[in-house]
């Protein structure tokens, strides 16, 4: 469900993106926060019976949608920032860092001895909320960057 939601969100995210504005990142991080909190609830109340799988799928869809929006925003920013001849290298670096995030469940499992899964997921949501707050603050402080130059279609 996560992957399907990521793909669907990526397809829609281009329409939501506004060059020079963090709108898509705000949407993506908000969905990530909601998905992490929903996951925390699902894990906390694991004995919900028949409702459990539906809630888990919903949480995965929300989290996947947020990831898809964040991924599209990041790739668009790479395109905007890359200088001549740098796009391939910068995209590769961005993708490597973005996909390193798939190691987060392992990290949370390792930290499971220090805190419960709902606590770790809530803490991760708090980090995402702090990132969202910082992003919005920076966008307001720095103003609107220049629009992206037109990219050639391949």
Residue 31 CA to residue 151 CA, distance in Å, equals 28
Paired tokens of 38: 């929903």
pLDDT of the residue at 102: 84
Give the number of other CB atoms < 10 A from CB of residue 103.
9
- Of 21 and 69, the one with more pLDDT: 69
pLDDT reported for residue 124: 95
CA-based R_g, the chain, Å = 17
Could you read off the pLDDT of 79-101 as tens digits, one per residue? 988 988 999 999 999 999 998 88
Is pLDDT above 70 for 153? no
pLDDT tens sequence across 30-84 = 999 999 999 999 988 876 665 678 888 899 999 989 998 999 999 988 998 898 8
142 vs 138: CA distance, rounded Å: 6
Whole-angstrom CA distances from 141 to 1, 21, 76, 78, 136 are 37, 12, 21, 21, 9
pLDDT, averaged across the chain: 83
pTM, two decimals, is: 0.81
Inform me whether the pLDDT recorded for 145 exceeds 60: no
Q: Does residue 151 have a pLDDT over 80?
A: no
* Dihedral angle, C-alpha 109, 113, 118, 120, nearest 10 °: -70
Q: What angle do CA 42, 118, 137 make, to 5 degrees?
A: 105
- With a pLDDT cut of 90, the percent of the chain lying above it is 40
């Amino acid at each position: 469900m996560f992957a399907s939601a990521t793909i669907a969100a990526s397809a829609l995210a281009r329409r939501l993106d506004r060059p020079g504005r963090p709108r898509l990142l705000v949407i993506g991080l908000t969905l990530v926060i909601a998905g992490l909190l929903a996951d925390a609830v699902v894990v906390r109340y694991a004995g919900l019976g028949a409702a459990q799988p539906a809630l888990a799928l919903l949480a995965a869809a929300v989290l996947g949608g947020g990831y898809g929006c964040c991924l599209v925003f990041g790739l668009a920013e790479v395109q905007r920032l890359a200088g001549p001849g740098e796009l391939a290298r910068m995209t590769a670096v961005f993708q490597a860092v973005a996909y390193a995030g798939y190691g987060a469940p392992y990290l949370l499992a390792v930290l499971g001895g220090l805190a419960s899964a709902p606590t770790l997921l809530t803490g991760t949501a708090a980090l995402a909320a702090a990132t969202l707050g910082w992003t919005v603050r920076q966008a307001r402080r720095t103003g609107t960057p220049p629009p992206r130059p037109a990219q050639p279609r391949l």
